[in-house]
Structure 1
């Protein structure tokens, strides 16, 4: 660890030089134009432009998602700097998402503002989400517990579902490797001063044998995924608006469990969420009240043996959110609100539900070229110690192009029901995992380029891990239970640039990571020191081409072993037949690289997909 600060300093110097060189490239055109028009909401819960944000937020819009033609949300997220993916196979298999080296359960995931995920495992099933139903994804880097509460240690991922105007509609079909089939449809409907969007999607694949280690099950592991979503709003009068959205995901996944050969090998899931909201706004004040519920349901069984017991896991989360924003004089903005939720789980737990209450306030002030922000939040999790989280940020605009922002903040992750109350091994004395972070980011933005470089550090304490209690069972074996015993320190550099040269659009994303277990001095398992993504795209008349290269450095697998570094190239070619009809050919892992991100679980080899779509706008 002693030599790492100098490594980071060297990387910062090199990448700043690259930023300056790119900024003066004579051949650059306008690929990054209109950056100022980008609106995000995840940082503060209300609309803000890029120059009002004091945290790094990456946004991926529908147009780019369509050109990537991903088979999972993880395929989209992996193109971003600071986001790392670990898969137990292909699109339908278990997937972990890490932001800036944090654990996968240190990422808060929202769909249209509604928190989703399992309160028993503490993670989100990204493999159940359909990219076809997504309009936009915002990924916020760094802690944001001061606004959102528990889980936002590494960052926040917010998924926004598609929304069409009345008379707009789309339909699409796709076929590809491993007998992959997709059909999708969406339509927008007007009703007075409002509209509602309905989208449906079906996907299925026969899959492949995802586990290639010692024999477990020599069979293909396929999946089915069905999604229906509804999203709309109604302008009641000049000040009042009603909003609603709902989503239902149902499907099946076949998998290989290396630790339990002969047991369950299939999983059915049926997840839903709904949200009803009303919003009042005038020139100075906006207030929004939202009522929502989400369910995460999973049933595990063995497909060819009805004698294997069925295991069920279910989380239901009722949520009430009241958010307010007041625009005072002299560039002063106050944001604040109250959150309440009830988490209930199904199973033989000593306690199967809990209430969570949170209240927060955020203040932002602009002085000429200086922008400051401070936020504080109080959270009370039933039967767990309360937590107070904060963020403090400062940015200075040197000129129209250059901007420097610094921030510090704290965050926490409440223990899950499995940690606390799992029959026979839960530990009700656990406390929340806590984190403190620092971030320094230099932004460059012009009509022809946008770039940033960010240096960050995150220290996480009271991490929960299995540990011996000092007691013995009836057979003389040590009794192990979860305990707050681990600490981690994560340092890194994140770089992103988008520019155009010779009519070719370029996107570069690079992350350097130094992630250490402070107790043992070892690297954190599953992290890469270097991760790089490069996109090259070109448009010519009716044709668009997108090539994506992803490099994943070697990852520590534990016990002094490493997963090998991997290289993956994907290619997407689209042809616009006319104003409405289009064709797209997608090749994943074009050079058929062997890619392993979890022990002996292989990602797909070379795959091809052909899609046809119709859009009426």
Structure 2
């Protein structure tokens, strides 16, 4: 389906509207508040300022995460433009994250640079991650396979764990609806020219009955979540530094089985990662060698008989990453490296491990007001295929406020072990899903306003879906297996604006999507045409106030059915007793709206939480 004239008009009018809006906001804002320069690493693997990035990257820092007081990582991501969340209940339930309309398994997730997630399902368990252990989140929009490899079709999410200086520490406690309890502690330990941060967190909730369709199990679905993380660095001399980090997440989730009576309704997980790295740097050259391992482990069983597992899944991923950056003369930068990983899964698979090798090169050049970037990467996935991915970007800085950036790129997603080798239904002849995208972004930055509008298109081919093979089983039924049969085209507009007016800080995020199934010409399942988020914050003496409104447009779920549009208002009020002690009251879904983002799975109703925290510097 080509772009209709009305949609072209919408994109043009959006660009014009941003120009007008930015000019008005610039006049209305007060000069006392400045938006700090944002340093990101996800775009190129090395620290770069926002002006050096040629892809859209949104970041959320610890201070804002604390004021949001989220109960899941999804609560943090949902406020960003272009990020859509689908939940099968509350904080402890299964959650999927989509970036710019892509599938949930088209998002690469990293924790402190280490790839995490299941190689059997191809997704990441966001419900197992604790927001309390997070320092910063970066979300990169659009394909970045040319730097990171497989999975980065829709974007990249990188989560950075907490980091404190020597002598700093914090502690907190919280109680809320459904007997929610949280306790957390973190401390920074200094050792010579280095420091290490240790954080621990425990959460639990009795939950509620998440499934409100036909009677299945009329019980509350609670969860427990424990997390511990360790992160540190040691400066050996002027040029050499050692870095290390590790994380362990362990917990339990109760859920409702909606497909078959007597199947699993409870799950234990125990995930971990560790990373050891050596970093060399001088004025011109930086090099980092990292060795890491991650595990994704999940065991499902009946809650009334926890000694008899129904299913067990485990992924272990060993990784070696060597990244380098050279600052040549005349504003020319070279970044490149080699990645190797081994994915091994537990189960009765015809093939239970594979090696993945990748090599990439990124070149960035600045000519006065013009910035150009090109990246290319080669990946070889054992027993599947090899892929070459690229990105090419240009940006022109009109003046101190306005910048226009354009980019194009390709990406791929390797088939999972379930797709390829699931006993009785896998298809070892599958190839990788591939995509090609285009992006045009207009940025505006002033003393206390930062805004952009982005127009994008992503075409995805060889999508894997279940299809009949033409064969029959012993009972005469059609045999279905995964096949590379689907295609999709996703077009959209993404708008973000952060600004201050009369001492009030505002954040506006809006996404328009036109997501088409190219096989049928119809809509893609699970996407909203419109999604909007507005956040208002205010600080007065010891008080701070944060109000967040989220609108999710109706979602297509197949046939002629849609999920209703939803409205959700959250409110967070904090009071600083002194330099160390603070109190916070948080209300989620303040107006008790009925919210469904996955058929018949209800998000929580109105919830209240009260927390006390102490922070020493």
Does the alignment reach a TM-score above 0.5? yes
State whether residues 142 and 153 of structure 2, in contact with CA within 8 Å, keep that contact through their aligned partners in structure 1: yes
**Further displaced range: 228-237 or 15-24:** 15-24
Q: For residues 580-612 of structure 1, what are the alpha-carbon distances to aligned partners after superposition, in whole Å with 9 as ceiling and x for unaligned?
A: 000000000000000001010000000000000
**Further displaced range: 22-31 or 508-517:** 22-31
State whether residues 489 and 516 of structure 2, in contact with CA within 8 Å, keep that contact through their aligned partners in structure 1: yes
State whether residues 26 and 446 of structure 2, in contact with CA within 8 Å, keep that contact through their aligned partners in structure 1: no
Shift of 1:331: 0.1
Shift of 1:382: 0.1
State whether residues 572 and 586 of structure 2, in contact with CA within 8 Å, keep that contact through their aligned partners in structure 1: yes
* Superposition CA RMSD, Å: 1.3
State whether residues 87 and 95 of structure 1, in contact with CA within 8 Å, keep that contact through their aligned partners in structure 2: yes
Shift of 1:559: 1.4
State whether residues 376 and 389 of structure 2, in contact with CA within 8 Å, keep that contact through their aligned partners in structure 1: yes
State whether residues 342 and 353 of structure 2, in contact with CA within 8 Å, keep that contact through their aligned partners in structure 1: yes
Q: Using the alignment, how far apart are the partners of 2:5 and 2:350 within structure 1?
A: 46
Shift of 1:21: 2.6
Shift of 1:310: 2.7
State whether residues 139 and 155 of structure 2, in contact with CA within 8 Å, keep that contact through their aligned partners in structure 1: yes
Shift of 1:12: 4.0
State whether residues 36 and 50 of structure 1, in contact with CA within 8 Å, keep that contact through their aligned partners in structure 2: no
Shift of 1:47: 0.3
Q: Which residue of 2 aligns with 1:484?
A: 484
* Structure 2 unaligned regions, length at least 5: none
Shift of 1:5: 5.0
Corresponding pairs, count:
617
Cα 1:493–1:213, aligned 2, differ >3 Å: closer, same or farther?
same
Equivalent runs, 1:424-443 vs 2, <5 Å = 424-443=424-443
Q: For residues 183-233 of structure 1, what are the alpha-carbon distances to aligned partners after superposition, in whole Å with 9 as ceiling and x for unaligned?
A: 000000000000000000000000000000000100000000000000000
State the SS of the aligned residue for 1:306: strand
Q: For residues 331-368 of structure 1, what are the alpha-carbon distances to aligned partners after superposition, in whole Å with 9 as ceiling and x for unaligned?
A: 00000000000000000000000000000000000000
State whether residues 30 and 500 of structure 1, in contact with CA within 8 Å, keep that contact through their aligned partners in structure 2: yes
Q: Using the alignment, how far apart are the partners of 1:564 and 1:8 within structure 2?
A: 27
Shift of 1:287: 0.3
Shift of 1:493: 0.1
State the SS of the aligned residue for 1:16: helix
Cα 1:271–1:534, aligned 2, differ >3 Å: closer, same or farther?
same
Q: Using the alignment, how far apart are the partners of 2:247 and 2:372 within structure 1?
A: 37
Shift of 1:27: 6.1
State whether residues 426 and 482 of structure 1, in contact with CA within 8 Å, keep that contact through their aligned partners in structure 2: yes
Shift of 1:15: 5.1
Shift of 1:17: 1.9
Shift of 1:306: 5.1
Cα 1:82–1:31, aligned 2, differ >3 Å: closer, same or farther?
farther
Q: For residues 528-560 of structure 1, what are the alpha-carbon distances to aligned partners after superposition, in whole Å with 9 as ceiling and x for unaligned?
A: 000000001111100000000000000001111
Shift of 1:503: 1.1
Shift of 1:385: 1.1
State whether residues 498 and 508 of structure 1, in contact with CA within 8 Å, keep that contact through their aligned partners in structure 2: yes
Please tell me whether residue 148 in structure 1 is matched to residue 148 in structure 2: yes
Q: Using the alignment, how far apart are the partners of 2:368 and 2:281 within structure 1?
A: 27
Q: Using the alignment, how far apart are the partners of 2:76 and 2:276 within structure 1?
A: 28
Q: Which residue of 2 aligns with 1:541?
A: 541
State whether residues 19 and 451 of structure 1, in contact with CA within 8 Å, keep that contact through their aligned partners in structure 2: no
State whether residues 18 and 453 of structure 2, in contact with CA within 8 Å, keep that contact through their aligned partners in structure 1: no
Q: For residues 299-338 of structure 1, what are the alpha-carbon distances to aligned partners after superposition, in whole Å with 9 as ceiling and x for unaligned?
A: 0000113586431000000000000000000000000000
State the SS of the aligned residue for 1:19: helix
Equivalent runs, 1:72-471 vs 2, <5 Å = 72-305=72-305, 309-471=309-471
State the SS of the aligned residue for 1:67: helix
Shift of 1:2: 4.8
Q: Using the alignment, how far apart are the partners of 2:250 and 2:30 within structure 1?
A: 42
Shift of 1:25: 3.2
State whether residues 30 and 503 of structure 2, in contact with CA within 8 Å, keep that contact through their aligned partners in structure 1: no
Q: Using the alignment, how far apart are the partners of 2:197 and 2:31 within structure 1?
A: 30
State the SS of the aligned residue for 1:23: helix
Cα 1:5–1:343, aligned 2, differ >3 Å: closer, same or farther?
farther
Shift of 1:10: 1.9
Q: Using the alignment, how far apart are the partners of 1:409 and 1:490 within structure 2?
A: 14
